[in-house]
Amino acid sequence: MSEPALKAQGMTGTGSIFIWTTYAYAIYIGSILSHGYVGPITTILLIRELTEYELEIDPLHPDNLGGLSNVGYVSIRTTLLFSTASLFLPLLFYFSSAGGVSEIIFAGAGILILTIFASFIYPTAIVNRRAQEYRDAVLEELREEYHQIEEATNDPDQDELSELNKRLELERVQRNYDNYNSVSLYPLQVNILFQLVGSVILPLIFMFIEFYLPNLI
């Protein structure tokens, strides 16, 4: 489809054999890398199946993410690994500008970019929503428990020991409430977002500098 771009590199006449070796290399690379979409698709399906079960968060988990760090890091690393394919975007756009089939090339690039963002945004949104639902339910239970203990504490007929035990129970419920209310539910970090966006934006910037900036100057 991009034969004019290849001929512009001198693959004509006696050099026409390199067109066919280039095609063979493209087929080889395609067969090796074509499984790349399996990663994000499998991750999306896995996260979707996982959220069908009841998610529980532990506010005191060592990962400081309610115990959901594994889910988050699998999604993020799958996305970052798959997004390295965006380094081929300048080459695709070069073929397009040199007379290739632009519609097919832009469609493929569009599917690639959409898959990059979908493999990151979808797991983030669905896991965060389910974890938020669980946390809200726990907070509501703790809130009701706090009010019940508080009402019992105001009973004038209870002795000092019972009142002390109820106040200690109030402090325990308050601590649990604060722990659940302050826990981070998903590793949505700024540096990860910059890596994700940069993996798509940087190749486009390089393409602009190499092919379009000289024409503007």
For the stretch 92-137, pLDDT in tens is 766 666 555 667 777 777 888 788 888 878 887 888 888 888 889 9
Report yes or no on whether pTM surpasses 0.95: no
Query: What is the pLDDT at residue 141?
Result: 92
Instruction: Supply the DSSP symbol for 102.
Output: H
Q: Which two tokens stand for residue 205?
A: 């910037």
Contacts of 195 (CB under 8 A, 6+ apart): 80
Cα distance between residue 83 and residue 88, in whole Å: 10
